[in-house]
């Protein structure tokens, strides 16, 4: 019995190790995003590392992240320089244009942006395409595979709601929850994103 409990291959310790991976990835994501212009490369490295961990690829978490960050820096930065003004402009519209007449339009645009937002980095991590093709696919796939993109958005929204609930009811629990940060959401959505792009994966690399 005790042998099974202390076996490093036991589900308990595998789960603890994965939580540790997510905490490390959250720290790496924050540090790599500090220059701001590198947010796209950091997000791509996050999804690339999570995909490799999810599919059982070897390698340490930090080494995988840094290798992917360097490999995707140029293209992911180009993607971010296109996406960032759109995201920041949408955020500014909520802060600076508090007009009820614009509420529906802003809400619809926000939903579309939230549906699309994970896909540029996930596609950059999974496929070797030019920036234009990655952007096109990142816009089309969430709409063509809408149930999957909605499911991924639902997980992100659920995590946000959980954070708000914890802040209002159990603030002492917030620091441990935030230790995992966005990598927890990204890891939870990994099987869904894999399913979303599965029609475009080669037969030798089926989606999870």
CB 180 within 8 A of CB 24: no
CB 131 within 8 A of CB 78: yes
Q: How far is residue 9's CA from residue 191's CA, in Å, rounded to a whole number? A: 22
Q: Which two tokens stand for residue 155?
A: 């997980």
Alpha carbons within 13 A on the beta-carbon side of 199: 7
Q: Is the pLDDT of residue 66 over 90?
A: yes
Task: Assign residue 56 a region (left: φ > 0; alpha: ψ between -120 and 50; beta: otherwise).
Answer: left
Q: How far is residue 7's CA from residue 85's CA, in Å, rounded to a whole number? A: 49
pLDDT confidence of residue 203: 64
Q: How far is residue 9's CA from residue 11's CA, in Å, rounded to a whole number? A: 6
Q: Which two tokens stand for residue 188?
A: 């939870």
> Which pTM does this prediction carry?
0.87
Q: Is the pLDDT of residue 2 over 50?
A: no
pLDDT in tens, 97-154: 888 888 899 999 999 999 999 999 999 999 999 999 999 999 999 999 999 999 999 9
pLDDT confidence of residue 33: 97
Whole-number average pLDDT of the chain: 88
Q: How far is residue 152's CA from residue 115's CA, in Å, rounded to a whole number? A: 8
Integer Rg of the chain from CA: 18
**CA–centroid distance for 173 within its chain:** 23
């Amino acid at each position: 019995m005790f042998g099974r409990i202390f076996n490093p291959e036991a589900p308990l310790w595998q789960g603890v190790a994965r939580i540790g991976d997510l905490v490390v990835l959250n720290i790496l994501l924050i540090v790599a995003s500090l220059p701001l212009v590198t947010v796209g490369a950091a997000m791509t490295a996050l999804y690339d590392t999570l995909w490799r961990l999810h599919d059982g690829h070897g390698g340490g978490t930090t080494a995988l992240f840094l290798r992917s960050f360097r490999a995707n820096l140029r293209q992911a930065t180009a993607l971010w320089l296109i996406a960032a003004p759109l995201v920041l402009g949408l955020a500014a519209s909520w802060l600076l244009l508090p007009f009820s007449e614009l509420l529906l339009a802003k809400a619809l645009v926000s939903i579309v942006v939230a549906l699309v937002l994970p896909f540029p980095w996930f596609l950059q991590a999974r496929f070797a395409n030019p920036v234009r093709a990655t952007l096109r696919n990142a816009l089309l796939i969430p709409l063509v595979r809408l149930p999957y993109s909605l499911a991924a958005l639902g997980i992100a929204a659920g995590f946000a709601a959980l954070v708000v609930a914890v802040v209002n009811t159990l603030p002492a629990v917030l620091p441990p929850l935030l230790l995992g940060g966005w990598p927890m959401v990204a890891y939870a959505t990994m099987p869904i994103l894999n399913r979303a792009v599965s029609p475009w994966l080669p037969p030798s690399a089926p989606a999870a």
